[in-house]
Structure 1
Amino acid sequence: MTDKIDSTMSTIQPSDTVDSNKVGEVYNVQDKHIHHDLAKEDVGAEFADIFQGGDGYTEREARRLRWKLDLRLIPILWFNVVLPAMDKVSHGTAALYGLQKDLDLHGDQYSWIGSIFYFGYLVWCFPSASILQKLPIAKTVSIAMMLWGVLLIGSGFVNSFSQLMACRFLLGLLEAPIVPSNMLILSMWYTRPEQALRYGLMYTGFSTCLTGPIGYAIGFIKTTHFHIWQSFFWICGSMTFAYGLVVGVFLPDNPVKAKFLNEREKAIAIDRVRVNQTGIENKTFKKEQFFEAFLDIRVWLMFLFNIWISVPNGGLTNFSPLIVKGLGYSSQRSALLTIPNGVVQTASSYICNGAVFLAAKYLPKYHVRGVIMMFGIIVGLISATFLYTLPLTAYHSRLAALFMSFFYLGPYIVGLSLVGANTAGHSKKVVVNAMMFVSYSVSNIIGPQFFKPNQAPLYPLGFGAILGSYILSLITIALYMVSCFYENKRRDARDAAAGERVHADTDFKDLTDKQNLTFRRNMPGDKDRLYIARYPSGVVPGRRCHVKNRANPNPNEPTTIWQYEELELLNVQNTTTLLIRVMIGKVQNLQRLLTILRSIPIIQTDPNWRCRTWCANALAAIAADGKAVGTSILDWQRIEQVARHYVA
């Protein structure tokens, strides 16, 4: 091995020293092509550098904080989804108790009551996206939910088709900011792998498990002062209004404003999501990110996927109570038989998102969200095939197939988490979220229109449309996976050809996934692996964490504890708290490894302690010599022996 490292191979030279006045400073290279005004950076930027110096946090602290966030945030976000989902299909339960007869609905008017809600949603998607960026998210959601509750209570007093249509349209306006806000809030608090599981926990069919018992209970009301279906609107509206108050009091707008966290916990919460490369929140709307969202082919593929996968939702949520009643069941029994719909939706969400979580934990080399989505779609496709072909006399088989047709929720939720994970830049995230819910609105507008009253109770056109939508969903998600795969490959090739330093300061610069060339989409990509060692800047939680004791070069300090974790090269290249990075296994692209080694930030907390400098130099030297390729055992003695050639 040579005694010197060419300057093109490492930014750390033997004569490198650190001024004691610059303790904790991290040396990064700014992108010359993108100017960042501090005022336009993310709100998390003020906490972003706290753990760049010598002080860090432990894995135990990070786990404890995540558990604290789960207990505080997830129940609130869960009810943010459950109550609107229950309210917007309340007319389905009301129809079991004479809504159509009392309001003199005929022809396709009932279908339009289901569709008009999403016209309001569609009209207000983009304005609400702008509102969510400019106003406090939690307070906006709280006000929207309270107004929603008031309007739903008012729906119980309508006496004509036009009045109910007006109420449903306004309800759509008010729901527009609620679900997108959940996506934004999750991306503020959780890493990309963590988001998938929590999407699954929040987005379930539990709303149907509530409407069923409530719908059954109101069947016992005996009165001549009002119609039974009116009481259903009043009950649901009162619940939503009360919960809106809870949201306003207990849901924080962002980590910086979280009163239930101390300053250290806020800093840890923000540092945890650094690896997302998506930032926390930015109040400045950037036009270039707006246009980028509309020019991104992958955004449009997910837009189409959302349309296809949501067509079953539009039809089934509006008509499933009537479909069940058409099989010969009473109104009360039909209300109870909607509960399995929610059970299947919940199971679908938990199965699909749980599979994503387990795959990320036990098969980290593989990105399988697309495959898992396909599995869920196939289950729905099979059930839709049975509903389209089985005769009306096959009561139990049709009922079972109807229940299983609600399996679409799992792929839909995994798709939402995929969009959230693969979109960076706050303005772009806001726009893309709005686009996803525009597509959701479009599909829920057209979904009920396939169910014609004169085709009841078989509804062949409706179930044929659902069958076709599942097939189109499979094709679209396959195209998305291929697109992400080749985009990641293109970026890897560009990095290797350029041989440039990886930018370690892009975390909170509010760059989009296109502007930030170090961003990688959460689909199949580079499978190179690294062994990660950290001390003492904090530890990223991982399933394989090994501890190794070694002599500390500083005799005044106790034995150093190095904690190792195996991660993908792409997942760690921008984590600025890493002190050294050691390859394990075969790295196919040596130039890419050298690029990353050259980007290692040296954080010198003690001028006499040069262990980290030694390691960085030694690793660069070993990689430059080609000896690292294929290495499976870390030889610390060899590393130190090499390092001493380069450190005075």
Structure 2
Amino acid sequence: MASPPDTKPEIVDEKAISVMEQDDDPSISNVEEQPLVRRIDLHLMPILIAIYILQYLDKSSLNTASLLGIIQDTKLVGQEFPWLNSAFYFGYLGATYPISVLLVKFPIAKVLAASILLWAVVLGCHAAGENFAALCSLRVLLGAFEATISPGFTLITGLWYKPSEHARRHSLWFVGNAVGSLIGSLIAYACTFITGGPLAPWRSLPLGMPMAAYNVIIVLLSASLAEKFRLIICASCANVFPMMLSLISSNVAGFTKKSTVNAVFFLGYCAGNIAGPQFFIPTEAPKYGTAFTALFVIFCILIGLILAFRQYLAWENSRRDKAQGVYIDAESPERDTMPGAVMEATDETDFENKNFR
């Protein structure tokens, strides 16, 4: 007896497919495309940049407060202040998975709007914190509500732009960190007048501004280099965080899978930020030998992992080319219009989708 045909329905990403169903022939010419992309940039990028600036200011407010006397006013002792820094990422870590589910189940804009409103309320409540327990609780909540921003922005960038456009757009909104540092230094300069130490704080705080301005230039330059040369070596002269987010948008297929990979990525991000402050032991100041030794070892490991990952991807792409009898250049802008790019809307894994590069 012949076996019945396999009637298992294909699992697809409904959000990605719904975009393509809006038009029978969604292709447009390059002449038509450029004004459209500029219009999207004009409406989308300023909002993302402004929110990222606010996120940086909120996240770094504790460090500024330490210069204004929060440690003495709240009677923090020992490692309590570093734990306040880590508490933010405990909240971020705990919210990462629920946020990835919410971003798939509900409209991204509504999830982001609710998160921004709640984080503003929590940040305002920091002024009422009078001890370690209160501040630690608020920092955990702040991290939980801010956990939506970077994953949400990565998904928005993936939805609105082609893979070849991701690097520049990720860098544009990520540069909000550097702009936030500039603004934060000005605010701290305006609010601070404390004497003592080899250099008065009102003199030392503006010293962070040149580095922030340099960061703006480097982040934007790295995006241009990545688009023009498409070489992994470009990351060596740049702030690599937006480049890593761009890799997720460009190299992971399907809205749901992007959300899942984002969640895994930010789990590691939180773990590092939780552990990092603990290596800066107060008794080792100002050299912090343990911290710098740990950083050196971790960077060496990262270099090896990045090179190994690059070689694995090259081997896998070559294997697929040989199996299919074709050559698909994963770094070519024409990849955006290949059949494999359309297939990325399905919820097949990267191993199942043989056209994926």
| Counterpart selection for 1:334 from 204, 220, 223 | 204
Task: Determine helix, strand or coil for the equivalent of 1:43.
Answer: helix
How many Å apart are 1:328 and its aligned residue?
A: 2.4
Whole-Å separation in 1 of the counterparts to 2:305 and 2:248: 14
| Deviations 1:409-451 (CA, angstroms, capped at 9, x unpaired) | x122212211221100222111100011111000101111111
2:245 is matched with 416
Task: Kindly provide the amino acid, as one letter, of the partner of residue 219 in structure 1.
Answer: T
> Match of 1:77?
48
Q: Which runs of structure 2 are paired with 1:61-210 in the superposition (5 Å)?
A: 61-204=32-175, 205-210=178-183
The 3 A distance-change label for structure 1 pair 68 and 453 is same
Q: Deviations over 1:575-614 (max 9, x none)?
A: xxxxxxxxxxxxxxxxxxxxxxxxxxxxxxxxxxxxxxxx
Equivalent residue of 1:50, what SS?
coil
Structure 2 residues not aligned, in runs of 5+: 1-5, 327-338
> What is residue 372 of structure 1 aligned with on the other side?
234
Shift of 1:48: 5.0
**Residues 443 and 142 of structure 1: is their aligned pair in 2 closer, same or farther, counting only changes over 3 Å?**
same
Within the candidate set 264, 272, 275, 1:446 is matched to: 275
- CA distance in 1 between counterparts of 2:202 and 2:65 reads 11
What is the distance in 1 between the residues matched to 2:204 and 2:132?
24
Among 433, 442, 445, the alignment partner of 2:262 is 433
Superposition TM-score, scaled by structure 1 size = 0.49
SS of match in other structure, 1:334: helix
Deviation (angstroms), 1:38:
7.6
* Pairing 1:348–2:213 present: no
Query: 189, 193, 196: which one pairs with 1:216?
Result: 189
- Counterpart CA distance in 1 for 2:146 and 2:341 is 38
DSSP-derived class of the 1:86 partner: helix
1:509 maps to 2:350? no
Larger radius of gyration: 1
In the alignment, is the contact (CA less than 8 A) between 1:326 and 1:456 conserved in 2?
Answer: no
Q: 1:174 to 1:446 in 2, by over 3 A?
A: same
- Rounded to whole Å, the distance in 2 between the matches of 1:142 and 1:208 is 23
Tell me, yes or no, if structure 1 residue 519 matches structure 2 residue 348.
no
In the alignment, the residues of structure 1 paired with residue 263 and residue 95 of structure 2 have an alpha-carbon distance, to the nearest angstrom, of: 9
Please tell me whether the aligned partners of residues 174 and 242 of structure 2 are also in contact (alpha carbons under 8 angstroms). yes
Letter in structure 1 aligned against 2:258: K
Task: Name the CA distance, whole Å, in 2 between partners of 1:503 and 1:57.
Answer: 18
- Aligned partner of residue 106 in structure 1, secondary structure: coil
Question: 1:50 is matched with which residue?
Answer: 25
Choose between structure 1 and 2: higher helix proportion.
Answer: 2
1:337 aligns to what SS in structure 2?
helix
State the match for 2:314 in structure 1: 485
* Alpha carbons 2:340, 2:356 under 8 Å: kept: no
Aligned residues of 2:13 and 2:256 also touching (Cα < 8 A): no
Q: How does 1:519-538 map to 2 (within 5 A)?
A: 519-520=356-357
SS of equivalent residue, structure 2 residue 22: helix
Contact (CA 8 Å) 2:254, 2:345: kept in 1 or not?
no
Q: Which amino acid aligns with 2:94?
A: V
Same amino acid, percent of matched pairs? 32
Q: Alpha-carbon deviation of 1:334?
A: 2.5
Q: Deviations over 1:181-240 (max 9, x none)?
A: 0000000011111110111111122211111000111126xxxxxxx9xxxxxxxxxxxx
* Paired residues, number: 337
State the match for 2:228 in structure 1.
Answer: 358
CA distance in 2, matches of 1:472, 1:215: 36
Letter in 1 for 2:233: V
**In structure 2, distance between residues paired with 1:354 and 1:39:** 31
Aligned match of 1:456 in 263, 272, 285? 285
Q: Letter of the aligned partner of 1:36 in structure 2?
A: E
Contact 2:99–2:147 under 8 Å retained in 1: yes
Shift of the 63–155 alpha-carbon distance from structure 1 to 2, 3 Å rule, reads same
- C-alpha separation between the residues in 2 aligned to 1:355 and 1:39? 32
Q: Do the aligned residues in 1 keep the contact of 2:186 with 2:206 (CA within 8 Å)?
A: yes
* SS of the residue 1:185 aligns to: helix
State whether residues 171 and 220 of structure 2, in contact with CA within 8 Å, keep that contact through their aligned partners in structure 1.
yes
Q: 1:182 is aligned with what amino acid?
A: F
Distance in structure 2 (CA, Å) of the matches to 1:141 and 1:66: 23
How far does residue 511 in structure 1 lie from its aligned partner after superposition? 3.4
In the TM superposition, residue 81 of structure 1 has moved relative to its aligned partner by: 1.7
TM-score after normalising by structure 2: 0.88
Cα distance, 1:161 vs structure 2: 0.9
CA offset digits 1:501-520 (Å, max 9, x no partner)? x7796253343332221111
Residue type matched to 2:17 in 1?
Answer: D
Equivalent-residue separation in structure 1 for 2:197 and 2:213 (angstroms): 20
Structure 2 counterpart of 1:531: none
From the superposition, tell whether residues 67 and 448 of structure 1 become closer, same or farther in structure 2 (CA, over 3 Å).
Answer: same
What is the root-mean-square deviation in Å for CA atoms of aligned residues?
2.4
What SS does structure 1 have at the residue aligned with 2:10? coil
Conserved 8 A contact 1:327-1:457: no
Change (3 A) 1:453 1:192: same
Matched residues in 2 for 1:460 and 1:454: separation? Answer: 10
Separation in 1, partners of 2:320, 2:23: 26
The one-letter code matched in structure 2 to 1:210 is I
- Give the C-alpha shift of residue 454 in structure 1: 1.1
CA offset at residue 39 of structure 1?
8.7
State the distance in 2 between where 1:486 and 1:39 align: 28
CA offset at residue 168 of structure 1? 0.3
Matching residue's letter, 1:43: S
Instruction: Name the amino acid aligned to 1:157.
Output: A
